[in-house]
Amino acid sequence: MRTFGGFKSGDKNFYGEVRGSEVHILATPYWTSVESTGEVRKLTDLVVDLPVAPSKLLAVGLNYADHIAEMKRTPLGTPLIWFKAPSSLLPSEGVIEIAFPEHQTDYETELGIVIGRVAKNVSVEQANDFIFGYTIGLDISDRDLQKSEKQFGRCKSFDTYTPVGPFVYADVDVRDVSIELRQNGEMRQSARTSQMIYPPAEVVSFASQSLTLLPGDVILTGTPSGVGPIRAGDQLEARIANWPVLRNRAAAR
C-alpha cells in the first residue's frame, strides 16, 4: 500500500507520499504524476490537509441493501449518482459546521474513489485501471432538506459536509474490507465493502458513460446501514480496514 496526502507547512501547501514517519514532497499532485522533489519532511512537523482537490465530487446512493431498507427505499436497478460541491470538502480533524441545528443532520461513512486517468465510456473490466486509489469519506446530509427537495445537491453540499482523508491509499484491495463509524466512541456503522450492490469498478464505469471523469475526481460509493443524527459537540471517527482514522468534530454554525 502506498499513502498520499495533502500537507501544510507555514504558508505553503503541497502533496506528498507518506513513508513511515516521513513525507516525500511531490512536484505535482500525486494524481497527475508521482514525481518527488527530493525534499523529505517529518510527518509530525506538517499539518495534514485535504488529500484531494477534485474538479468533480460525485456521490452514490442506495448502494447497500441494509441502508436501502433503513431508509425505506427500493432498489433502482442502476447506481444513483449526484454531485456534491467540492467546496464542501473538509480535512481530517476539521470541524463539521451544522448549517441548521434544528434539522436532522446525519452522518454517512463511505469508501471514496480517487480517479487517476481520464475516464470516458470505460467498461467494468477496464475501470480499475482508471482508479488511482481510495480514501475515507463522510457524506453529511440534511434530512429535512433532502425530504423536501427532489435533488440531493443542496442538502449534502454545505461547507464542511464532506470530510475526507486523512490520506489516499494506492495499491490496495478494497473488495472486502471493514467500514465503520463511531460516534462519541460508540459503534454506529459496521459493514464490509463486499456488501456493496455496485462495487467501485461498476460505479466508475457507470459514471463514465454519462460524463468524463478527470484525474483527481472523487466518487463516494454509498453508505451502509446505521446512519444517524449528529449534534454539536459530537466526535466522529470513520475507519476503513486498518487505514488511519478520519476524525471530525461537529459544531453548530
Q: Do residues 177 and 240 make contact, with C-beta atoms less than 8 angstroms apart?
A: yes
Q: Which amino acid is at 12?
A: K
In tens, the pLDDT along 208-224 reads: 999 999 999 999 999 99
Residue entry with cell 481520464: 118
Please write the tens of the pLDDT for every residue from 138-180: 999 999 999 999 888 999 999 999 999 999 999 999 999 999 9
Average pLDDT over residues 105-134: 98
Rg of the Cα atoms in the chain? 17
Q: CATH class for domain 57-252?
A: alpha beta
Q: What is the pLDDT of residues 56-95, one digit of tens each?
A: 999 999 999 999 898 888 888 899 999 999 999 999 999 9
**Amino acid 72: pLDDT:** 80
pLDDT tens figures, 44-54? 999 999 999 99
> What is the value of pTM for the model shown?
0.96
Cα 222 to chain centroid distance, Å, stands at 10
What is the C-alpha separation between 208 and 114, in angstroms, rounded?
Answer: 14
Q: What pLDDT, on a 0 to 100 scale, did the predictor assign at position 70?
A: 87
pLDDT at 48: 98
For 2-49, CATH number out of 2.30.30.370, 3.90.550.10, 2.60.40.10, 3.30.360.10 equals: 2.30.30.370
Alpha-carbon distance of 134 to 152, in angstroms, equals: 23
* Stretch 188-211: mean pLDDT: 98
CA distances 48 to 37, 136, 165, 218, 239, Å, are 19, 14, 9, 18, 17
Residue 118, helix vs strand vs coil: coil
d(CA 178, CA 196): 12
Average the pLDDT over 85-112 and give the result.
Answer: 98
What pLDDT does 91 receive? 98
Break the chain into its structural domains and give their ranges.
2-49, 57-252
